Amino acid sequence: MPDSASSKRLIIVTGLSGSGKSVALHTLEDDGYFCIDNLPAKLLPTLIDELLEHDDDLYARLAIGVDVRSERRSPDDLLRLFRNLRRREALEFEVLFLDTGRSTLVRRFSETRRRHPLSGENLPLHNAIDHEMRLLDPVKEAADRVIDTSRLNVHELRELVGNFTRDAERSGLTLVFQSFGFKHGVPGSTDFVFDVRCLPNPHWDEKLRRHTGAEAPVIAFLDAQPEVGEMYRTIRDFLTRWLPCYDAENRAYLTVSIGCTGGRHRSVHLVERLFAHFAAERGNVSKRHRELA
């Protein structure tokens, strides 16, 4: 926890309506953050100034959910506030943006029968979602971390938000390795995508099919394939060469996604190997197997 006499921590939680912002804030509250939800953006500067002036430990870690309805025309004021907060001394400030695919949002609003905050008699649900996506795209670009909740359940989202706060409270860039299956879609929150579908596939061996790339039978099979070793070394060497550049940018996260067809064998194996290599060389390295969650 930050020393209230020297620095405070502020996380702005924003994103698309229906993407899970309330779940994120509840998670932050459980982690000891003082949370405020659905605050109009125009009230942010005054409230933040007021809270940051307090020496009370209660306000040492703040999380504020921003209401998109106050940004119907342009997010320029919100982006200007972000820039000002990043320049403040004794304040650790980050933006967490929750993203979700259009079809998932339509399904969520249809299932819950809740009204989208930007919809109305003259703006159907599909149009309201599209309008909000366009409106918040600059905010998404300015975020320190984007979490795509399209394929996450509540428990998985809580875990990722918890990881975000723990990683963010450590200094330096956090390197995230993620395996996935192309047949389930490419992750929306990623910086690099490596397609390893060209490698020999254990799925076609009935004895290996039920195992994952983190289990001994599949590991032995893939380790015996020269192409797998070459792919691993290529990705490892690429990241080794360019990670210092991203470290120098003072960014919080770099997410590397490895994809095969189903996301259970080849991509899992390579993520495990890459994670082991970089975790031994640097701090703040994590991994996630999307299709095994």
Same domain, 122 and 20: yes
Give pLDDT tens digits for 10-31.
999 999 999 999 999 999 998 8
Last residue of a domain, one of 169, 202, 227: 169
Same domain, 138 and 182: no
- Two structure tokens written together for 231: 């792919």
**Distance separating alpha carbons of residues 51 and 61, to the nearest angstrom:** 10
The neighbour count for residue 3, using CB atoms within 10 Å, is 10
Residue 7 confidence (pLDDT): 74
Give pLDDT tens digits for 39-58.
877 788 888 888 777 777 77
Give the H or E element holding residue 253. strand 253-260
Percent of the chain clearing pLDDT 70 (strictly above): 93
Confidence of residue 117 (pLDDT cuts 50, 70, 90): confident
Residue type present at position 267 = S
Same domain, 144 and 186: no
Residue 52 confidence (pLDDT): 75
Residue 225 confidence (pLDDT): 97
Same domain, 125 and 180: no
Residue 3: inside a domain: no
- Two structure tokens written together for 84: 């000002």
**Distance separating alpha carbons of residues 188 and 194, to the nearest angstrom:** 14
Contacts of 236 (CB under 8 A, 6+ apart): 274, 277
Same domain, 149 and 35: yes
**Distance separating alpha carbons of residues 39 and 216, to the nearest angstrom:** 51
**Distance separating alpha carbons of residues 40 and 234, to the nearest angstrom:** 47
Query: Where do we find the tokens 């300015």?
Result: 142
- Two structure tokens written together for 122: 């003259």
Contacts of 23 (CB under 8 A, 6+ apart): 154, 157, 158, 161
Residue 160 confidence (pLDDT): 86
In terms of DSSP H, where are the helices of 19-124?
21-30, 44-53, 76-86, 102-112
Half-sphere exposure of 100 (CA within 13 A, CB side): 25
Residue 282: inside a domain: yes
Q: Is 89 within 8 Å of 38 (Cβ atoms)?
A: no
Q: Which neighbouring-strand residues pair with 65?
A: 13
**Distance separating alpha carbons of residues 227 and 241, to the nearest angstrom:** 21
Q: Which neighbouring-strand residues pair with 163?
A: none
Same domain, 134 and 247: no
Same domain, 179 and 80: no
Domain hosting residue 216, numbered range:
174-289
Q: Which neighbouring-strand residues pair with 293?
A: none
Same domain, 165 and 182: no
Residue 1: inside a domain: no
Last residue of a domain, one of 138, 169, 200: 169
Same domain, 27 and 157: yes
Last residue of a domain, one of 169, 201, 217: 169
Give pLDDT tens digits for 177-211.
999 999 998 987 789 999 999 999 999 999 999 99
Helices first, then strands: H and E counts in the chain: 10, 9
Give pLDDT tens digits for 250-286.
677 899 999 999 999 999 999 999 999 999 988 789 9
Q: Which neighbouring-strand residues pair with 192?
A: 256
Confidence of residue 4 (pLDDT cuts 50, 70, 90): very low
Q: How many structural domains compose the chain? A: 2
Residue 156 has pLDDT above 90, yes or no: no
Same domain, 108 and 141: yes
Same domain, 28 and 142: yes
Same domain, 229 and 99: no
